[in-house]
Structure 1
Amino acid sequence: RDPGAPTAVPGPLTLTLISPRVCPAALWLAAAVEVHTAKEVVAVNGTNQRLKCTFSSSSPVSQQLSVSWNFQPEDLSVFYYLKEPYQPPSGRFKDRVTWDGNIERHDVSIMVWNLKPSDNGTFTCQVTNWPDVYGTIGEVRLRVVQKVSFSEIHFLAVAIGSASGLMIIVVTAVIICRQHRRKARDRRTEVAEPGQFISTALLNPWPVYLHGPPESLASSSPWPF
């Protein structure tokens, strides 16, 4: 560097050069649409499934709001919304997808009817709301199965329910057995009371007289009184 050359001093010019790089990012963050979806959905073959998708925007809902549903990895158009819903005119999703959302509630969900194994894949949901034309794209991974597979939570719930039912049955059986035993014991007591009196009379056949025997027995009795 030439010693006589002037030295550049950072000043307003430097800030002016940096600002254009920062402002677009800041504006994008301030004016972006956030899309929220369920990450994974499992459905049974032949049934219908609602694919939920909601959004949040920094701007009010405009008349130019648009929603695009696509299917990956084939990049097929599944559904489109602009002021009103539009179903695909052709393809394997024709007459199988209906609108199930509510724009006022920021809900842009759809319903897929008569699911097939070929529907396994990822559905994407993209929303633009002018001037919020940038934002995230929601993804829903759909798995179509032949039958419902119980998870660990289902097994735990069944086990707890079975144990509770068995406990109730055991407690009820114990209470019933105790009641039967009590009734049987009461019946034996009622029957045993007359028998005890009779057995006592047989063991002591000689009557006891408090004022001596009658005169008819006094003369014939060998016992001194």
Structure 2
Amino acid sequence: MRRPRHGNTHLNIVLLLYLVGFFDPSLVSSITVSTPAELHASKGDTVTMSCTFSSTSRPTSKMTVDWSYRPQSGGPPQTFFHFSSRSFPPNDGQFAGRIRWQGSPARGEASISLINATLNDNGTFTCSVRNPPDVHGSPTSHTVLTVTPKAPSIRFSDVAVLLAFILLPSAIITLILIGRMLCPKKQRSQSKAYRSPIEVTEGEEYGIHPPGDKDSEDEDEYYNIKKRPPMDEGYAESQC
């Protein structure tokens, strides 16, 4: 009884696999598509949905890219974007006018941009790439998009106006108070009246003077009173 030769058996298996791969390349060729698992954005943002792929075959005009969307509430996915030699963005529906092609098949890029994201865009986006004959492997990948309301922000102009309304009146009031403290108003005493230079004191009109010198003394006293500065003890001059 003859024993089977193990060396010949291994050689036959290798030859068989080679022939299968040569006549049916789909069994050995594969394509891999990758997308981020999650994306987060604020309402109104432009979201870039990255999609890259690697293929054992060079991309040709037969390569296609499809993007589909399934709402967060559930339901079947719906294709809204298609690429085949050129892009075909949606003309109606939820994403009409809001999708831009950002891909480059020669570099393994199949990305798109979603403009003006809304809360209704929350859901799962799927990127699917076909590059015949390399269509097997992992031709699809999923991304979950979460859009949240944008947090309110205070603009610099609003802050400047608010500060102007608060600080400017306060500064004016402070300056007025400081001015009153440093420069008090003139105060006039009401207890004493201003005495005119031509007024005479009581008894002066009836004073006794020598007959010969009456005229000269009256004249001298008049000029002395006229030259005397007015006395106003109740008048306070400001020091400012």
If the length of structure 2 is used for normalisation, what is the TM-score?
Answer: 0.50
CA RMSD of aligned residues (A): 2.6
Preserved contact between residue 67 and residue 81 of structure 1 (Cα < 8 Å):
yes
Pick aligned residue for 1:144 from 138, 143, 147: 147
- For 1:116, give the aligned amino acid: T
Alignment size in residue pairs = 132
Alignment correspondent of 2:111? 109
If the length of structure 1 is used for normalisation, what is the TM-score?
Answer: 0.53
Q: What is the aligned-residue identity percentage?
A: 32
Please state whether the residue corresponding to 1:31 is helix, strand or coil. Answer: coil
- The superposition leaves residues 187-206 of structure 1 with CA deviations (integer Å, 9 ceiling, x where unpaired) of xxxxxxxxxxxxxxxxxxxx
- Structure 1 residue 130: deviation in Å? 1.2
- Structure 1 residue 135: deviation in Å? 3.0
Structure 2 stretches lacking a partner, 5+ long: 1-8, 152-240
Q: For 2:134 and 2:122, how far apart are their aligned partners in 1?
A: 31
- The superposition leaves residues 96-125 of structure 1 with CA deviations (integer Å, 9 ceiling, x where unpaired) of 111011111110100001111111111000
Preserved contact between residue 78 and residue 97 of structure 1 (Cα < 8 Å):
no
Pick aligned residue for 2:43 from 42, 45, 58: 45
Q: For 1:98 and 1:64, how far apart are their aligned partners in 2?
A: 21
Moved beyond 3 Å, runs of 4+: 26-29
Alignment correspondent of 2:163? none
Alignment correspondent of 2:95? 93
- Structure 1 residue 134: deviation in Å? 2.1
- Comparing 69-78 with 90-99, greater Cα deviation is found at 69-78
- For 2:44, give the aligned amino acid: G
Preserved contact between residue 77 and residue 88 of structure 1 (Cα < 8 Å):
no
Q: For 1:105 and 1:85, how far apart are their aligned partners in 2?
A: 16
Preserved contact between residue 34 and residue 53 of structure 2 (Cα < 8 Å):
yes
Alignment correspondent of 1:56? 54
- The superposition leaves residues 132-188 of structure 1 with CA deviations (integer Å, 9 ceiling, x where unpaired) of 12232111110001147xxxxxxxxxxxxxxxxxxxxxxxxxxxxxxxxxxxxxxxx
- Structure 1 residue 28: deviation in Å? 4.7
- For 1:108, give the aligned amino acid: A
